[in-house]
Amino acid sequence: MGSPLSIFQVSGRAMSAQLVRMNTTASNLANAGTVASSAEAAYRTIKPVFRTAFDEASGMSTVDVEQVVTAGSEPTKRYDPGNPLADKDGNVWESAVDETRELVDMLESSRTYQNNVEVMQTAKQLIVDTLKLGR
């Protein structure tokens, strides 16, 4: 059994998880509206799956990214015979990225990341203030 987790480790893990979330959201937004020549080749929305763990020694929970999975709607078939990616029937498949949902996810993950930055800054300031008491 290891030493108890510190508030810095807990916040750091949460920040890492939110960074993965922001990166997957950015990838989704970058691929919104892209088309492919088949449903299999079309971009699919990706999302991180978080895992929480309880540390008995410190009494704190941590969060990590367990995996990144595809999620959301299937690509949409669209008739576009003039598109160079169209198949023999003139169809292309467009990614089904919900841009509004992705923007909400981006804001949410950004706020959560910032909240953890503030937790770390507060913890640091409390440690500094405690050390000053000893003078």
Q: How many CB atoms lie within 10 A of CB 45?
A: 21
- Find the distance separating the first CA and the last CA of the chain, reported in whole Å: 35
Q: Is the pLDDT of residue 5 over 80?
A: no
Q: How many CB atoms lie within 10 A of CB 95?
A: 20
Which of 36, 62, 60, 63 lies closest to 49, judged by CA?
63
pLDDT at site 4:
64
Q: Domain ranges for the chain, please list them.
A: 7-133
Q: Is the pLDDT of residue 90 over 80?
A: yes
Mean pLDDT for 26-51 is 96
Mean pLDDT for 51-76 is 91
Q: Report the alpha-carbon distance of residue 50 to residue 67 in Å, rounded.
A: 7
pLDDT at site 1:
45
- Reported as a single tens digit per residue, the pLDDT across 122-133 is 999 998 999 888
Q: Is the pLDDT of residue 92 over 90?
A: yes
Instruction: Name the pTM for this structure.
Output: 0.85
